[in-house]
Amino acid sequence: MLSDFRKRIRQIGPAFILAAVVLGPGSVTLATIAGSRYGYQLLWVPVVSTVFMVVFTVMAARIALVSRQSLFDVARRKYGATIATWGGVFGFLSILAFQAGNSAAVGFAGNALFGMDARLWSIGFLFPALALLFLPDLYRKLEILVKVVIGLMIVGFAGTLVTVGIDFSGAFRGLVPSFPDNDAVFLSLGMAATTFSIAAAAYQSYLMKEKRWGPDELSTEGLDSLVGIGILGGISVVILLVSAGVIRQVAEPVFDAQTMARQLEPVAGPAAFILFTVGFFFAGFSSLVVNPLVGATLLVDGIGREPDLKNRPLRLSAAGILIFGTFVAVLFGGTPIELLRVAQALAVVAFPVLGFLVWRLSADRKIMGENANSLGLNILAGLGYLTVLGIALSYVRQILSWIW
């Protein structure tokens, strides 16, 4: 039995790819802001978000394992082509618009660690990222890459936490859900969006095909999602703890990851600054590479083409996202507010569609048979879907506040 467990541990990997794309610069920044403004009070948010992410990742994977079809193929059969096309196109466009943040983050981290203009680093890392997209046997190499990258993120952020320290009583109190004020509600929804990424959860269904898993791997996939997404949530928790620990010592709020890195040096020494910046770099680089693959896969499948990493149209679409994000980051020195508005507007359509498809298809007994969602899983999925709608409404609020 122990040997079987070890075999399963060696097999896991798809959910690590999801962790690599979800744990990007947005996750680091919002967890930093939450710890800076509210200490440990919002620690429960990444914990609850991780539970919802595991639930939707498992459901998406089970659709592919049982049906042996792509997510949008099953959706077309159940609901018609329109909803699949909307999900694919809007998902692609929202990821395209969000991509500039990953390029900008890599540039900042390169500048902080080694000097030179951040835009030069953004351009410099474009080329190895493009080269990765066109490697043969891409999935296997991607899995190896993200395991290494996540390991380095764990070292970077956990090492920073060790140097900063934790107020354990405050941290335990932060696991009790509460909102200190009205602003904390919307910050919590933003944090939830960076941990509970419905587009990434949907992508797990495609990774099952790349992994060549079928119904026999249902239990292995469950372990994969639990471990991979658990690590994602754990790193988000660690970043919030670091931020709360720093603010406890300097009493100055921090509103971005760059300021956080700079404040670490006088508080915990240069090693903490380096560790945090290294973690931030790999968070940006992993999202820089994997995020375009998620968007391209959704697009290709949404319009009815074969969503296989070997296919040239998918790789070219991913390369287009990567180049666009780098161009915007270099041109504006970051992500312009106008583009962020567009990304959020597109996500208002894409995220509820993707969440609905993952939940309802995995609950359909005609499709899933005996592997359809249990009552408990459906209850958690329903709560998770309410969170998806809350995230979408939060985006609407931000868009309206920019307009008026």
For 241-258, write each residue's pLDDT tens digit. Answer: 888 877 756 556 555 566
Say what the pLDDT of residue 298 is: 93
Phi, psi of 137 (to 5 degrees): 50, 50
Taking only the tens place, the pLDDT of each residue in 99-112 is: 888 888 888 888 87
- Cα dihedral 185, 295, 332, 105 in deg (nearest 10): 70
Say what the pLDDT of residue 252 is: 60
Cα–Cα distance, 158 to 150 (Å, whole number): 12
In this structure, of 120-134, 240-254, 259-273, 310-324, the range with the lowest mean pLDDT score is 259-273
291: containing domain: 2-403
CATH number at residue 264: 1.20.1740.10
The full length of the chain comes to 404
Between residues 403 and 117, the one the model is more confident about:
117
Q: Which residue has the tokens 């978000």?
A: 49
Amino acid at 188: S
Cα–Cα distance, 87 to 94 (Å, whole number): 10
Mean pLDDT, residues 132-159: 81
| Most confident segment among 122-126, 145-149, 242-246 | 122-126
Q: Which of 189, 155, 166, 161 is nearest to 42 (CA)?
A: 189
Evaluate if residue 327 carries a pLDDT over 80: yes
Evaluate if residue 172 carries a pLDDT over 70: yes
Task: Assign 348 a pLDDT band (cuts: 50, 70, 90).
Answer: confident
Whole-Å CA distances, 190 to 31, 37, 49, 256, 331? 10, 14, 11, 14, 26
Tokens at 396, concatenated:
């609407």
Which one-letter DSSP state was computed for residue 42?
A: T
Task: Say if residues 233 and 27 touch (Cβ distance below 8 Å).
Answer: no
Say what the pLDDT of residue 10 is: 60
Say what the pLDDT of residue 99 is: 86
Q: Which of 63, 71, 25 is nearest to 236 (CA)?
A: 25
Taking only the tens place, the pLDDT of each residue in 280-298 is: 787 788 888 888 999 999 9
| Most confident segment among 6-20, 137-151, 162-176, 316-330 | 316-330
Which one-letter DSSP state was computed for residue 24?
A: S
Contacts of 13 (CB under 8 A, 6+ apart): 143, 147, 211, 224, 228
Q: Which residue has the tokens 């508080």?
A: 267
Say what the pLDDT of residue 337 is: 65
Domain total of the chain: 1
Between residues 277 and 176, the one the model is more confident about:
176
Tokens at 328, concatenated:
């915007």
Contacts of 105 (CB under 8 A, 6+ apart): 24, 25, 28, 257, 280, 281, 283, 284, 287, 288
